[in-house]
Structure 1
Amino acid sequence: MTTDDSRTNGALAGLARFCFRRRRLVLLTWIVGVIAVAFIGFGNGAASDNDFTGGNSESAEAQKLIEQHFPEQQGDTLTLAIKAEKGIDDPAARQKIDKVVAELAGSPVTGPVISPYQDKNLVTEDRRVARMTIPLSDKGVTNTEVKPLVDIVKVASDDSVTLGLGGYMAEKAETPSQGSAESVGILAAAVILFIAFGSLVAMGLPIVTALLAIVGGLALMKLVGHVVPAPNFASIFGAMIGLGVGIDYALFIVTRYKDGLRGGDDPESATVKAITTAGRAVLFAGTTVVIALLGLLVMGQRLMTGVAVATSVIVLVTMIAAVTLLPAFLGFTGYKINSLRLPRRTSRRNQPASAPFQERHSLAERWAGVVQRKPVIAAILASVILLVLAAPTLSMRLSQPDASVQPRDRSSYISHEILSEGFGPGYGAPLIFVTQVDSKDADLRPIVEAISKTEGIAHATPPRFSKDGQAVTFTAFPTTGYQEEATANLVHKLRDDVLPNAPGGQRVHVGGPNASTIDLAEESGSRLPLMIAVVIAISMVLLIAMVRSVTIALQAAVMNLLSIGAAYGVIVAVVQWGWLGPALGFPTAMPVTTWVPMMMFPVLFGLSMDYQVFLTSRVREEYERTGDTRTAVARGLARTAMVITAAAAIMIAVFTTSLLGPDIAVKQGGLGMAVAVLIDATIVRMILVPAVMELCGKANWWMPGRWAPKAASAPQAAVGVEVRV
């Protein structure tokens, strides 16, 4: 057994020894702690908050006035859409419609309703299509309570009378849970780990560690929600990110532990070395992800702040588990880490650590040699591929999903289709106008007329005064739908041209869900560059401190931008342009969900920095050993190729399983992150990094005041890790 003061002393070494020797206490503390936090968090945690309104936008100002002067308009509503082939007055159709209306009105969660037979304005001229608004009796109505209403409408619908129940709560009520998507991700990760390690015991440690951490992290996230509220997708995204990084971090440490045993260390020494090398890298990598996530605070949006804090909590818990719980598990496994191996690997399992480097890493090293012989061509080719993939990003449009992009068998989509056919596509995209007035004698007819005559407006309702006589509201319906770019252009035209030129129009605010979505998308788009700049700047400072090279930090920033840009481009092509959209679970072409690019960037930038650290730290170690950049890059790539590939494969598997879930926005984010990790682990790490480092030569190691580290006879503690097969 060999010793190295840099690996056996210090706070991390002491922590590793304590967790190894007191493994029963550590394991018991984790189990009891997770159970206690889960009991409190899942039982008393904060409910999700999906209200993205607020801030200083015009739609936010309109919402404030409505809440202040029109309290009766608050609360969720459902919309029953009716289409009768023979008309709603047909006796058989009317009997069915009356029965459904009575059942909906008789529910304990609904308020008073007006039947389409009582108001002719709720029926089209040909009497084939009708609508009915159903107020929910309490803001606290849950999806579970609304689901029976959706079922009533679905059961009653047939070929003669088609019924659909729309509205936000109806959409949520009939959207199934994420279901088995996470389970599929865990299974895929287990298969990848089993192939990488060839041992059921080694495979199980990262998964068990990650699962315990995720349960605790999700419960803590629920508790933090009382202080910083987060939307419902935060838990889904948090689980995906936690599962991915949790397994990856444990993978790096277990790999280093196995290397230590193979090199002759006893289990305790191998654990200490694993934590002080790979564990140190895990702490840096996790901190980078957390700081990148907290970059979302720059967006200045209440719920995105909640997302940043919530997901950061989960990543923090996985980091802590990796350097405390995992050493305890390693104490229990000891030399049995290789138990229950794959039969086909038996012949090579006792391969000594001193086996010739060329034999153990021939494929990866040969590939690095190919790239290094033609670095200019390789760099140009990789860059062109990334830029081509990123090109669609220039046409990215942001919006929020509505009923029009839901699966075609959903009652909310059927409601949207019926209403669009009978009352126009703009019925689902109403614009709500509100203004303060001095008295009920105020004349808003010129404003309403000016809006009604605007191209793109189907019709506007008469103005309605508040009970206190201090505000007026009316609604206008566009001729285009919620997701169409023409609708956003119309809102700008009304705000910039029509209202300022109408008498008193300067005081009128344009609001409603459609305008709120447009304002949120534009605010997010304008703040996104600032967030990107902040995340890059902070991450570069951390990377410089870790690898002690300005050049490598700059390379990492540029390459990460290219890979994330390529992922954005793929999302636009699939989601917005519709390329392979239906095959991947997207029912129709649609704009990219507003929060997806915001959420993707910090997560992916942090993860990309992880891989950069694991690769370049091993390259630096080889450079300090040999003093030759070409050799260092080839050997560093070869030593980390398998572990980065395995880690990336786990991330891709976890993120891709989101496509099995029902949430359209989460699918977009999962697809984008899977593509980004795939690009990063292949084009960037296997082609662009070795090519650029070859071109930079000794300049790779430039720091103010010096150009390169000195070659040493004995390598420093390596942060990189490897999987030997």
Structure 2
Amino acid sequence: MQTGDGLLGGLGRACYRHRKATLLAWLAGVAVLITLWMRFGAAADNSFTGADPGQTLLNQHFARQSGDSLTLAISSAQPVTAPAVRAQVASALVPFEHAPHVTAVTDPYTTPGHVSRDGHIAYATVQFSVSGNSISSSETSMLMNDATRASGHGVTFSLGGDVVDLAETPYGGPDNGIGVGAAMLVLLIAFGSLLAMGLPVATALFGIGGGLSLIALLGHIFPAPSFSPIVAALIGLGVGVDYALFILTRFRTELHGGREPQEAAVTAMRTAGVSVLTAGTTVVIGMLGLLVLRQSLLNGVAVAAAATVAMTVLGALTLLPALLGFTGTRLGKATILERRRNRREARKGTRGGRSRSERWALFIQKHKVMAALSATAFILLLAAPVLTMKLSFPDESAQARGTMGYASYAAMARGFGPGFDAPLIVAAALPSDGAAADMARVETAVARTPGVAAVTPPVVSRDGQAALLIAYPATGAQDAATNALANTISGQVLPEATAGTGIHAYLTGPNAANVTFSNLIGQRLPWLIASVVGLSMLLLLYVFRSVVIAVKAAVMNLLSITAAYGVLTAVTQWGWGGRLFGFPEPMPVTTWVPVFLFVILFGLSMDYEVFLLSRIRESYLVSGDNAAAVVSGLASTARVITAAAAIMVVVFLSFDLTPDPGVKQVGLGLAVAVLVDATVVRLVLVPAVMEMLGKANWWMPRWLARVMPAPQPSSHQATEPLLKTGNHA
């Protein structure tokens, strides 16, 4: 490290000089991590229930009912009680009775309530002794094939349940490669160079490979759901390519300015590298903000995404300088696109040779008030639908048409109502054998609750210490009334019905767990927002030495997030263009999606904010002219911000090629937020507001300046205003 390089500049110089060793270290390190992943990686955990006393009772006293279950819907053109249909149903149930882990298959003809009122739909319940995580997709596929083979002669068998949904809508798959291809295409269009396209993608893929391996290994401590790897991989791809692109673009700028390749790499690391480290740290802070919710699976998601982003940052700060060492001065040569652009600009001599980005910056400077008002109005218009947002976990009505899961749901909804897909299980601990009679009181109280369509008779365990009953709502799982009903039964009906009886009753099951999860989110969300916003503001305050910059960045990020929420609500819940993005029908926003979007987007929004502000501040420290610094910073970053945003948008839109509705919603929300943030916010609202604030942008109280430690200054500061040099980074 040479004097004045700074920490990141010195790191870049070391990796550049020892490029072969750095590359070999990355190759060996990622290979070791992948090997450990394949041999010792933890299995996914898709349970959001956490500590559930009701489920504990079921496990202890109803072992045969404690595992997962499937519903075999039977739809017949003839009445299902017809002799020929009964014989076909009896034959169809045989393979299910002998399937692995199956403890019982109910007979629809001998079990009360299993035949619809019109007599054309019935169902059998396939009960497992293990959870859905222990049922392989191959086992599920065999059962689905059994149902398909049994269908015919006017009778259709459709299997439905969580494991069926997971088998038909797996997370990830071959569509994931589309994000990589799309990113490469955008880079190639933006820079017209295979080398400039390949380096950011290669750097990001190394980081993602290491990150995904860490996810599987950390899963032993922080269990993560099945969607974590695909979401973490696509987020890592988006930010990884962007971070490498920021450094690569500054490196090319320094080469164009006449610097030697090694010094160009050091300067890029010392300037753009700081922006990458700051932006990446903010994304990690945002993701780890999920830990505030203290929910086990969200903890796993947080750690998974944070680990992947951290690895992509490490790749941009170490592997990329090494790869730049192999390129020499080749990246400094003008590409075909750049030569064409230069010739086009030369022909427009009447405009003083200003680039399109610089002309746009001057336009915003001239019309700053109108630009700020117009941008704010547009964002608020996009955000307006968020006032009607409804949250729920998707049920099988959200499955793609043509799947067996949706066919099962549709048949059961026709025969037994939409609430059949949202059973609420009441598990009760009985103080003595005689207390079983008091369960009739509980059954009556639950049945009389408004919104309950039917209640099964209580079933007492063999040891007489526990009982269970099932309540079926009159509304579907995605209806807000069902959530309200669950809260009413849990918070009012059960405590009143068991008062003085010695019975301890709990509402349990998947749907009750979803409601509990929603309640937890509502209680702890303010703490999540406060912690993420507060820590991010402190980081920006440290880097930019300005209270105004930190506060403004937080407000701008919240505007982008709110706009994304609004568009997501309009598309998924209102159905505006829903089919275009793969949503078969209007549906509520998945409960965990807004929380997940917030922590990701607050960090991602900082990417462009930090990059833009870094160049503005760099110019301001040289010239002391706020107006000129804003124009210079915007003109020099507009093109790369646009390219980086385009990469993220196409990567995140590739989420919508996956079949899972929750992942689709994440992809749509991320794409909208990045698009709004990189265009309306960073290229219009931020520069307009900074123009209006003037030197107040850089205000910091003296007492705070004394308390707040300053970043290590670098002696490699620019020697003239960037506006005059025409640098582009």
What TM-score do the two structures reach when normalised by structure 2?
Answer: 0.92
Q: Which residue of 1 aligns with 2:522?
A: 525
Distance (whole Å) between structure 2 residues aligned to residue 498 and residue 46 of structure 1? 40
Match 2:413 to one of 411, 415, 420: 420
The offset of 1:124, in angstroms, is 2.7
Distance (whole Å) between structure 2 residues aligned to residue 351 and residue 23 of structure 1? 38
The offset of 1:439, in angstroms, is 1.0
Q: RMSD over aligned Cα, in angstroms?
A: 3.0
The offset of 1:169, in angstroms, is 0.9
Matched, 1:538 2:535: yes
Q: Which residue of 1 aligns with 2:192?
A: 198
The alignment partner of 2:668 has SS state of helix
CA contact (8 A) 2:275 2:614 kept: no
Distance (whole Å) between structure 1 residues aligned to residue 144 and residue 429 of structure 2? 38
CA contact (8 A) 1:618 1:718 kept: no
CA contact (8 A) 2:623 2:720 kept: no
The offset of 1:342, in angstroms, is 5.5
Distance (whole Å) between structure 1 residues aligned to residue 704 and residue 497 of structure 2? 66
The offset of 1:138, in angstroms, is 4.0
Distance (whole Å) between structure 1 residues aligned to residue 540 and residue 210 of structure 2? 29
> Residues 174 and 431 (structure 1 numbering): CA distance in 2 closer, same or farther, change over 3 Å?
same
Q: Which residue of 1 aligns with 2:372?
A: 379
Match 1:21 to one of 3, 17, 20: 17
Q: Which residue of 2 aligns with 1:235?
A: 229
Q: Which residue of 2 aligns with 1:515?
A: 512
Kindly provide the amino acid, as one letter, of the partner of residue 355 in structure 2.
Answer: S
Q: Which residue of 2 aligns with 1:245?
A: 239
Q: Which residue of 1 aligns with 2:43?
A: 47
Distance (whole Å) between structure 2 residues aligned to residue 345 and residue 496 of structure 1? 66
The offset of 1:542, in angstroms, is 0.4
- Aligned 1:277-426 pairs, distance under 5 A: 277-337=271-331, 343-347=336-340, 361-426=354-419
CA contact (8 A) 2:372 2:685 kept: yes
> Residues 179 and 373 (structure 1 numbering): CA distance in 2 closer, same or farther, change over 3 Å?
same
CA contact (8 A) 1:190 1:203 kept: yes
Matched, 1:598 2:618: no
Of 556-565 and 581-590, the range deviating more from structure 2: 581-590
CA contact (8 A) 1:244 1:651 kept: yes
Kindly provide the amino acid, as one letter, of the partner of residue 330 in structure 1.
Answer: L
The offset of 1:109, in angstroms, is 4.6
Deviations 1:321-364 (A, max 9, x none): 1111111111111122367x854544567999xx9998665322
The offset of 1:520, in angstroms, is 0.8
Q: Which residue of 1 aligns with 2:486?
A: 491
CA contact (8 A) 1:376 1:691 kept: yes
Of 691-700 and 371-380, the range deviating more from structure 2: 371-380
CA contact (8 A) 1:643 1:723 kept: no
The offset of 1:437, in angstroms, is 2.1
Matched, 1:84 2:76: yes
Distance (whole Å) between structure 2 residues aligned to residue 121 and residue 489 of structure 1? 25
Distance (whole Å) between structure 1 residues aligned to residue 63 and residue 336 of structure 2? 70
Q: Which residue of 1 aligns with 2:54?
A: 62
The offset of 1:584, in angstroms, is 1.1
Distance (whole Å) between structure 1 residues aligned to residue 533 and residue 658 of structure 2? 32
Distance (whole Å) between structure 1 residues aligned to residue 119 and residue 365 of structure 2? 74
The alignment partner of 2:122 has SS state of strand
> Residues 236 and 550 (structure 1 numbering): CA distance in 2 closer, same or farther, change over 3 Å?
same
Deviations 1:64-87 (A, max 9, x none): 333333333211121100011112
The alignment partner of 1:86 has SS state of coil
Match 1:471 to one of 456, 459, 466: 466
Distance (whole Å) between structure 2 residues aligned to residue 694 and residue 158 of structure 1? 72
Distance (whole Å) between structure 1 residues aligned to residue 378 and residue 659 of structure 2? 32
- Aligned 1:689-704 pairs, distance under 5 A: 689-704=686-701
The alignment partner of 1:164 has SS state of strand
CA contact (8 A) 1:699 1:707 kept: no
> Residues 666 and 291 (structure 1 numbering): CA distance in 2 closer, same or farther, change over 3 Å?
same
Match 2:582 to one of 577, 581, 585: 585
Matched, 1:617 2:614: yes
CA contact (8 A) 1:389 1:570 kept: yes
Q: Which residue of 2 aligns with 1:436?
A: 429
Match 1:36 to one of 9, 32, 56: 32
The alignment partner of 2:702 has SS state of coil
The offset of 1:156, in angstroms, is 4.0
CA contact (8 A) 1:277 1:719 kept: no
Distance (whole Å) between structure 1 residues aligned to residue 361 and residue 415 of structure 2? 63
> Residues 177 and 290 (structure 1 numbering): CA distance in 2 closer, same or farther, change over 3 Å?
closer
The alignment partner of 1:122 has SS state of coil
Matched, 1:184 2:187: no
> Residues 524 and 328 (structure 1 numbering): CA distance in 2 closer, same or farther, change over 3 Å?
same
Gapped runs of 5+ residues in structure 1?
Answer: none
The offset of 1:48, in angstroms, is 0.7
Deviations 1:501-554 (A, max 9, x none): 435388432222212111211211232222111111100010011111110111
Distance (whole Å) between structure 1 residues aligned to residue 325 and residue 668 of structure 2? 38
CA contact (8 A) 1:277 1:718 kept: no
Matched, 1:12 2:8: yes
The offset of 1:485, in angstroms, is 1.3
The offset of 1:291, in angstroms, is 1.2
Distance (whole Å) between structure 2 residues aligned to residue 631 and residue 453 of structure 1? 71
Distance (whole Å) between structure 2 residues aligned to residue 649 and residue 522 of structure 1? 36
Distance (whole Å) between structure 1 residues aligned to residue 656 and residue 178 of structure 2? 11
Kindly provide the amino acid, as one letter, of the partner of residue 538 in structure 2.
Answer: V
Q: Which residue of 2 aligns with 1:257?
A: 251
Q: Which residue of 1 aligns with 2:214?
A: 220
> Residues 73 and 156 (structure 1 numbering): CA distance in 2 closer, same or farther, change over 3 Å?
closer
CA contact (8 A) 2:616 2:632 kept: yes
CA contact (8 A) 2:622 2:720 kept: no
CA contact (8 A) 2:256 2:332 kept: no
CA contact (8 A) 1:576 1:592 kept: yes
Q: Which residue of 2 aligns with 1:457?
A: 452
Q: Which residue of 2 aligns with 1:652?
A: 649
Distance (whole Å) between structure 2 residues aligned to residue 722 and residue 672 of structure 1? 36
The offset of 1:158, in angstroms, is 4.9
Distance (whole Å) between structure 2 residues aligned to residue 572 and residue 309 of structure 1? 27
> Residues 713 and 630 (structure 1 numbering): CA distance in 2 closer, same or farther, change over 3 Å?
farther
CA contact (8 A) 1:547 1:613 kept: no
What is the number of residues matched between the two proteins? 713
> Residues 112 and 663 (structure 1 numbering): CA distance in 2 closer, same or farther, change over 3 Å?
same
Match 1:113 to one of 98, 105, 114: 105
Of 419-428 and 537-546, the range deviating more from structure 2: 419-428
Kindly provide the amino acid, as one letter, of the partner of residue 651 in structure 2.
Answer: V
The alignment partner of 1:179 has SS state of coil
Deviations 1:343-393 (A, max 9, x none): 4544567999xx999866532222223222232222222112212222222
Matched, 1:100 2:92: yes
Kindly provide the amino acid, as one letter, of the partner of residue 21 in structure 1.
Answer: R
The offset of 1:622, in angstroms, is 1.9
Distance (whole Å) between structure 1 residues aligned to residue 371 and residue 10 of structure 2? 45
Kindly provide the amino acid, as one letter, of the partner of residue 686 in structure 2.
Answer: V
Q: Which residue of 1 aligns with 2:127?
A: 135
Kindly provide the amino acid, as one letter, of the partner of residue 692 in structure 1.
Answer: V
> Residues 195 and 470 (structure 1 numbering): CA distance in 2 closer, same or farther, change over 3 Å?
same
Of 98-107 and 393-402, the range deviating more from structure 2: 98-107
Kindly provide the amino acid, as one letter, of the partner of residue 292 in structure 2.
Answer: V
Of 477-486 and 125-134, the range deviating more from structure 2: 125-134
Gapped runs of 5+ residues in structure 2?
Answer: none
> Residues 275 and 582 (structure 1 numbering): CA distance in 2 closer, same or farther, change over 3 Å?
same
Kindly provide the amino acid, as one letter, of the partner of residue 227 in structure 2.
Answer: F
Distance (whole Å) between structure 1 residues aligned to residue 727 and residue 238 of structure 2? 18
CA contact (8 A) 2:191 2:337 kept: no
Distance (whole Å) between structure 2 residues aligned to residue 497 and residue 213 of structure 1? 51
The offset of 1:94, in angstroms, is 4.2
Of 499-508 and 621-630, the range deviating more from structure 2: 499-508
